[in-house]
Chain A
Amino acid sequence: MFEVLMIVALSLLSIAILLNIYRAVKGPSGADRVLALDAIGINLIAGSAILSVLLHTHAFLDLILLVGILSFIGTIAFARFVERGVVIERKR
């Protein structure tokens, strides 16, 4: 019963990620694509949590923190790139 519920949750999450991929492909501006990729990263955190419940293991719990940090850094870097054209500014 519990495993069936977890599989249902994973399939709903993959439908959500597919809708996000549709927006990342179609999005008219660059900010739309960055927004969709950020949402995909956040959904991947939930996916790894559900997978660690499904497999009864603690080994994926580090991955949650890691994907969270990497998604945040990537989103900030892309936002700076869209806004100013460079990611790391030179001090004059």
Chain B
Amino acid sequence: MIAALFILFGVSMSLIGAIGLTRLPDVYTRSHAASKSATLGVLCTLTGTLLYFLISEGYFSIRLILGIFFVFLTSPVASHMIIRAAYRSRVPMAETSVQDDLQEYMRKKAGQAER
């Protein structure tokens, strides 16, 4: 039963992430919604699956542990790479954003590269 609770919590978390992916205004906030909630959702779902096989059959799956570990490591890295690529290819932010500290740093770095 606790496995079902874990799985339902994980699935509703990834559903919330998908709703955030459709409703938020620009690519950076969408990445903020999608990466974290999808990662937490799939971690809870895999933990629920692990608990289900452990309780019902006494089968401890090393592959599920490896899957949890791998998703936990790689999903934020993938989101970071996408957002860095989006910033470097000048995808605009939403109109409501007020401060962009990285822009001056990138401009200074480009000036140094010209000299």
Contacts and interface: CB of A to CB of B under 8 A. Distances in A.
Contacts, number: 164
B110 interface: no
5 contacts: A13-B11, A16-B14, A23-B21, A43-B18, A79-B81
Interface of B: 1, 3-4, 7-8, 10-12, 14-15, 17-19, 21-22, 27, 30-31, 34-35, 38-39, 41-42, 45-46, 48-49, 52-53, 59, 61, 63-64, 66-67, 70-71, 74-75, 77-79, 81-86, 88-89, 91
Interface of A: 2, 5-6, 8-9, 12-13, 15-17, 19-20, 22-23, 27, 29-32, 34-36, 38-39, 42-43, 45-46, 49-50, 52-53, 58, 61-62, 64-65, 68-69, 71-72, 75-76, 78-80, 82-83
